[in-house]
Structure 1
Amino acid sequence: MAEPLRVIEICAGAGGQALGLEKAGFEHELAVELDENAVNTLRHNRPQWKVVQGDVADPDVWDPADYAPAPGRAPIDLLAGGVPCPPFTVAGKQLGATDERDLFAWTVEQVKTVQPRALLLENVRGLSMPRFAGYRQHVLDRLAEFGYAAEWRLLHAADFGVPQLRPRFVLVAMRPDDFARFHWPEERPGEAPTVGEVLFPLIAANGWREAEEWAKKANDIAPTIVGGSKKHGGADLGPTRAKRAWAELGVDALGVANEAPGPDDVFPVGPKLTCAMVARIQGWDGDEFQWTFTGRKTSNYRQIGNAFPPPVAKALGLAIAAALNGTAARRESDPVIEHDPIYRALRDGGGFMTAAQIVRKAKLHLDAPELDRRISLLSRDFEILKEERRSGLAYKLGAFRAFTGQVDHKRHDYFRVRETLSKIS
């Protein structure tokens, strides 16, 4: 019988990805999480796991070198995580590499130390946008330097049977021989159950007389569940646009209920959902994906809302395991590599380049304003050096602005000025 595949999971949250990976055959060597409530949930459900609380980038919390291959110690099979989303979310400022919460680049750098057989990172759809083309290319460049092939893919939870939209941008990397057998999990568009179908047993649990009619109205998948930030108020089901979508399904999104509606309850819009209902929409169910959330209601909701849906994590875990175990067929094509031509031109150019040289090397037809806009986007994640010449400005690609472990990075000040770690989200 094959040995279980070993995984280190960082920014583990309350266990959505962890549970899915476990169901795919992975055994947790370590789980690291900042939030105390989520840590308590992990320890409650899996007391046998080594769960460590703290800033994942703090060497006093864990040392990646302790998990590197060594005589008598095989490499970790998978380094996985759902690093913070705010640096990339469309609803935020999309600060990317300059956001103190950004841990994506830092995690990629740990691949050099840990040398896992595979890497799995997931984040919000915003990371897939043109704004971050240079950032994504830098990640691929670094992984290639470490000897890994990698590919990005936008996945939708609804295509894996989860009754909500929830698009997630996923990065998978492996050694080339293993990646040659990696196939993205098969998607099943249109097969996800509706909110009404999934929640009917829970919404009717206290005998609500309108439950059947409500379930008929809730005849679509849900908008994306959001956990929200600790810097804002209590739990609710999302911003204004999401609240309108919930209202069309007969759900009051202005808060979370303590229990299912009673027999004669009447609502202007519809009932509020309980945490158990929200968990069901996230893919936790009473059969395969059983899980208990500890703490108070608002904490429960945030743990659930910020999670990676377990069925999606399981599908990815199975695909990665099949590649690592050599049971999948070889791919017929190389990884799809998206290049940002402006970034690539500056990267490969080495020294200063004029606008005309950049456009020519990038093989693009851009006017001056558009080139300036593209370079301005790059300058949000990279230092762009400028030099005045007779023919106009010349540009040179400088340092990556993201936190990758620098001892003098402003991220450290960000943590120090917080009274407690629990205020960071």
Structure 2
Amino acid sequence: MSASECEERLEVVEICAGAGGQSLGLHRAGFTHRLAVELDPQAALTLEKNLRRLLEEDGVDAHDGLVRVGDVADPEVWKPEEHSGVALLAGGVPCPPFSIAGKQLGTSDERDLFAWAIELCGRMRPKALLLENVRGLSANRFSGYRQAVLDKLNDLGYIASWKLLQASDFGVPQLRPRFVLIALQPEYAPYFQWPKGIPGQAPTVGQVLADLMAEEGWAEEEVAAWAKKADGIAPTIVGGSKKHGGADLGPTRAKRAWAALGVDAMGVANHAPKPGFQPENGATGPKLTTAMVARIQGWDGEEFGGWKFEGRKTAVYRQIGNAFPPPVAKALGEAIRDALHKKGEPQPLLEASSPVHDPVYKLLRSSARPLTAEQIITKLAADGTAMDQAEVERHLNHLRHDFELETTERKSGQLAYILGKFKAFVGQADHQRHDLFTQHRGRIS
């Protein structure tokens, strides 16, 4: 890398970095890590060894403390203020609080760090923020949560937006929708454009894995027949949680999709099929190895290949399955990089204030007095939003999960509502997150 290229690189602090899917993508987009923080020791070891290799290849000295291991919200692990003004704050904060496959506990889940990550913007003042999570966060259940996040960023002076991206649109052979939040300081926001993937460009599972299926001597004609059957992209790779058992490729619905592709999803193999391999016990094909799973997650080719994972098979599988696909991270990184370098023509911002995800939340947040459901309906209608009693009650029920929702009873018997505090952990010393995290730390991933 030339001196001018080094000068062009931007620094990133990455939280909840995992085994480095986002890290690799951001590095390929022109970012250099100032710091990465990860809770899981095996994932952190994977991350540090690979990041150091990347920096050495670029001729950049890897400083001590490049990767910190521990709870990202623990002030003993790192001090956010030491990284004030960094170009990018990025992270893949834990997904279970919002996952459709989980209980969607939101702010009641000790793993929820999304709102806390937003608070970091106020402490660190990065030029840009990138956070990614599961599609579940885009659901109606979390419309108030999303609204609170956007409003907080707006209060901090950032222009923010959400977008659901499909990994398969960026060449990843997998159905992996990711809900992404990008926020930039107003100086850079007009230069940001969401990356545009190309639907239908992802290779099939058979195309991606045929050479790995053949590496232990499985007959050429058998591999070809298998690859012909594996003619679609994969279902979402699920890394799972330490709360559950060993590695397999997901819930029942995913296993059926894998079976249709000729893959036995009941576990992960130690090696590729040997000569004479035949499926057993009703399986429709071979199991995947961790190397194959990594390919499907986007660790492939000259740009993204060569990532070495530390630990035993189940730990490696979890590291891969919980990662952000590197090609998607690279595309987002390039878009952010170009905005920070003010490349291209600035675009007029459609809205400099926070867009409305939850009109009931917005109304209650701005109201100085309690409102009944009937009053909410009337006020929303006056602003051009039609909502019936059932819809309002549904919004109130969702809000009750993540906010203190106080009620008073009118003389008529109607309940009136006023929105209280956001229940999310944002660094409070007395938050329930501390006790729950301590109790469950050994099972959190």
TM-score, normalised on structure 2?
A: 0.92
Question: What are the Cα deviations for residues 151-206 of structure 1, in whole angstroms up to 9, with x where unaligned?
Answer: 00000000000000100000000012211110001110000000000001101112
CA RMSD of aligned residues (A): 1.3
The one-letter amino acid of 1:269's match is: T
Matched residue of 2:268: which SS? coil
User: Aligned residue pairs: how many?
Assistant: 417
The one-letter amino acid of 2:391's match is: E
The one-letter amino acid of 1:410's match is: Q
Match of 2:400 in 1: 379
Unaligned runs of 5+ in 1: 69-74
Match of 2:377 in 1: 359
Match of 2:155 among 139, 145, 164: 145
Question: What are the Cα deviations for residues 344-403 of structure 1, in whole angstroms up to 9, with x where unaligned?
Answer: 110111221122221122224434333222201111111111011123111100000110
The one-letter amino acid of 1:30's match is: L
2:254 aligned with 1:242: yes
Partners in 2 of 1:117 and 1:366 — Cα distance?
38
2:296 aligned with 1:284: no
Matched residue of 1:396: which SS? strand
Match of 1:270 in 2: 285
Of residues 360-369 and 381-390 in structure 1, the stretch that sits farther from structure 2 once superposed is 360-369
Match of 2:109 in 1: 99
Equivalent pair of 2:89/2:126 in contact (CA under 8 Å) = yes
Partners in 2 of 1:288 and 1:355 — Cα distance?
55
Of residues 43-52 and 25-34 in structure 1, the stretch that sits farther from structure 2 once superposed is 43-52
Partners in 1 of 2:272 and 2:41 — Cα distance?
28
Matched residue of 1:303: which SS? helix
Matched residue of 2:302: which SS? coil
Match of 1:217 among 219, 225, 229: 229
Of residues 2-11 and 401-410 in structure 1, the stretch that sits farther from structure 2 once superposed is 2-11
Q: Superposition pairs for residues 287-366 of structure 1, below 5 Å?
A: 287-289=302-304, 290-334=306-350, 337-363=355-381, 364-366=385-387
Match of 2:59 in 1: none
Partners in 2 of 1:155 and 1:299 — Cα distance?
27
Q: Superposition pairs for residues 71-86 of structure 1, below 5 Å?
A: 75-86=85-96
Question: What are the Cα deviations for residues 40-75 of structure 1, in whole angstroms up to 9, with x where unaligned?
Answer: 10122123260000000000001111112xxxxxx2
Match of 2:45 among 35, 40, 49: 40
Match of 1:207 in 2: 217
Unaligned runs of 5+ in 2: 53-61
The one-letter amino acid of 1:397's match is: L
Equivalent pair of 2:380/2:387 in contact (CA under 8 Å) = no
Q: C-alpha displacement at 1:337, in angstroms?
A: 2.6
Partners in 1 of 2:390 and 2:333 — Cα distance?
44
2:69 aligned with 1:53: yes
Match of 1:112 in 2: 122
Q: Superposition pairs for residues 21-32 of structure 1, below 5 Å?
A: 21-32=26-37
Partners in 1 of 2:183 and 2:386 — Cα distance?
33
Match of 2:184 in 1: 174
- Identity among equivalent pairs (%): 61
Match of 1:414 in 2: 436
Of residues 151-160 and 366-375 in structure 1, the stretch that sits farther from structure 2 once superposed is 366-375
Matched residue of 1:380: which SS? helix
